[in-house]
Structure 1
Amino acid sequence: MRDVVIAGGGPVGLFLATELALGGCSVLALERDEEVTSPYKALPLGLRGLSAGSAEMFYSRGLLEAVIDASGADAKRVGAAPDAIEAPTPRDVSHFAGMSLDAADIDVSAFPFRLPSPAMEGFMTSLEAVSKVLAERAIALGVDIVRGAPVTAVTQDDQSVAVTAAGQEYRARYLVGCDGGRSTVRGLARFDFVGTDPLFTGYVARVTFADPQQLPLGFNLTPNGMYLRTPFEGHLGMMDFDGGRFDRSRPLTREHLQEVLRRITDTDLTLTDVHLASSFTDRAMQVTTYRKGRVLLAGDAAHIQSPLGGQGLNLGIGDAANLGWKLAATVHGTAPEGLLDTYTSERHPVGAAILDWSRAQVATMKPGPNAPALRQLVHELLSTPDGTTLAYRKTTGLFDRYDLGSAQPLVGSTAPDFHFEDGPRLGDLLRQGRGVVLDFTGDHALQCAARSWQGRIQYATGTAHNDLGFNALLVRPDGVVAWADDQDLDLKAFRQAATRWFGSPQN
Structure 2
Amino acid sequence: MDVNQTVDVTVVGAGPVGLVLAAELALSGATVQVLERRAAPDKAMKAGAINVPTAEALDRRGLLPAAEQVQREMLERVGSFARMVDDQPPGGGQAVRESRFTGHFAGMVLDPDLVDWSDADLAAHAAVAGARLVPQRELEELLTDHVARLGVPVRRGVEVTALEDTGDGVLVGTTADTVRTGWLVGCDGGRSTVRRLAGIDFPGTGPELTGHLAVVDIADPEKLANGWAWSTRGAYRYGPQPGRVVTVEFDGAPVDRSAPVTLEELQTSLRRVSGTDVTLTALRGAATRWTDNARQAATYWSGRVLLAGDAAHVHSPFGGQGLNLGVGDAMNLGWKLGAVVAGWAPEGLLDTYDTERRPLGAWVLDWTRAQIAVMRGDAKSAALREVVADLLSTRAGTTYAVKKISGVTQHIDLPGDHPLVGRFVPDLWLRDGSRLVDHGHGGGFLLLDRTPDGAFARLTAAWAGRVSSVVDGHATPTGVLVRPDGVVAWASDTTDITAVTGLEAALHRWTGAPSSSPEHEPVG
User: 1:267, CA displacement in angstroms?
Assistant: 1.6
Partner of 1:452: 462
User: Quick one: distance in 1 between partners of 2:328 and 2:435?
Assistant: 21
Q: How do 1:267-416 residues align onto structure 2 when only pairs under 5 Å count?
A: 267-274=276-283, 276-416=286-426
Aligned-residue CA RMSD in angstroms? 2.4
**Does 1:101 pair with 2:105?**
no
Cα distance 1:355–1:78, how it changes in 2: closer, same or farther (>3 A)? Answer: farther
User: Quick one: distance in 2 between partners of 1:411 and 1:253?
Assistant: 49
Cα distance 1:201–1:164, how it changes in 2: closer, same or farther (>3 A)? Answer: same
User: Quick one: distance in 2 between partners of 1:422 and 1:82?
Assistant: 14
**Does 1:29 pair with 2:34?**
yes
User: 1:246, CA displacement in angstroms?
Assistant: 4.3
Q: Is the 8 A contact 1:218 1:230 kept in 2?
A: yes
Q: How do 1:169-184 residues align onto structure 2 when only pairs under 5 Å count?
A: 169-184=178-193
Counterpart of 1:307, as a letter, is P
User: 1:263, CA displacement in angstroms?
Assistant: 2.1
**How much identity, in percent, do the aligned residues show?**
43
Partner of 1:142: 151
Partner of 1:248: 257
User: Quick one: distance in 2 between partners of 1:371 and 1:102?
Assistant: 22
Q: Aligned pairs, how many? A: 499
Partner of 1:12: 17
Partner of 2:64: 64
User: Quick one: distance in 2 between partners of 1:225 and 1:246?
Assistant: 18
**Does 1:188 pair with 2:197?**
yes
User: 1:186, CA displacement in angstroms?
Assistant: 0.7
The one of 485, 490, 505 equivalent to 1:478 is 485
Deviation digits for residues 172-221 of structure 1 (CA, Å, limit 9, x no counterpart): 11111111111100100111111111121001233332311111332222
Deviation digits for residues 47-82 of structure 1 (CA, Å, limit 9, x no counterpart): 521112211110110012223335661157778657
* Greater displacement, 149-158 / 231-240: 231-240
* Greater displacement, 54-63 / 200-209: 200-209
Counterpart of 1:461, as a letter, is V
User: Quick one: distance in 1 between partners of 2:458 and 2:263?
Assistant: 69
User: 1:408, CA displacement in angstroms?
Assistant: 2.2
Cα distance 1:31–1:256, how it changes in 2: closer, same or farther (>3 A)? Answer: closer
The one of 438, 441, 448 equivalent to 2:448 is 438
* Greater displacement, 266-275 / 244-253: 244-253
Deviation digits for residues 261-316 of structure 1 (CA, Å, limit 9, x no counterpart): 22211122223444543311011111021111111111111111111111111111
Q: Is the 8 A contact 2:49 2:136 kept in 1?
A: no
Counterpart of 2:243, as a letter, is G
Counterpart of 2:358, as a letter, is H
User: 1:121, CA displacement in angstroms?
Assistant: 5.2
Partner of 1:492: 501
User: 1:472, CA displacement in angstroms?
Assistant: 0.9
**Does 1:505 pair with 2:509?**
no
Deviation digits for residues 133-185 of structure 1 (CA, Å, limit 9, x no counterpart): 21122122121111100111111122111112223011111111111111100
User: Quick one: distance in 1 between partners of 2:57 and 2:261?
Assistant: 37
Q: Is the 8 A contact 1:79 1:118 kept in 2?
A: no
SS of 1:334 mapped into structure 2: coil
Gaps of 5+ in 2: 1-5, 76-81, 517-524
* Greater displacement, 238-247 / 191-200: 238-247
User: Quick one: distance in 1 between partners of 2:384 and 2:90?
Assistant: 46
Q: Is the 8 A contact 2:28 2:339 kept in 1?
A: yes
User: 1:355, CA displacement in angstroms?
Assistant: 0.8
User: 1:132, CA displacement in angstroms?
Assistant: 1.7
User: Quick one: distance in 1 between partners of 2:91 and 2:159?
Assistant: 48
Cα distance 1:308–1:344, how it changes in 2: closer, same or farther (>3 A)? Answer: same
User: 1:90, CA displacement in angstroms?
Assistant: 7.3
Cα distance 1:78–1:498, how it changes in 2: closer, same or farther (>3 A)? Answer: farther
Gaps of 5+ in 1: none
Partner of 2:228: 219
* Greater displacement, 346-355 / 102-111: 102-111
Q: Is the 8 A contact 1:79 1:121 kept in 2?
A: no
* Greater displacement, 128-137 / 91-100: 128-137
Partner of 2:214: 205
User: Quick one: distance in 2 between partners of 1:270 and 1:382?
Assistant: 34
SS of 1:2 mapped into structure 2: strand
Partner of 1:3: 8
Q: Is the 8 A contact 1:78 1:121 kept in 2?
A: no
User: 1:366, CA displacement in angstroms?
Assistant: 0.9
Partner of 1:156: 165
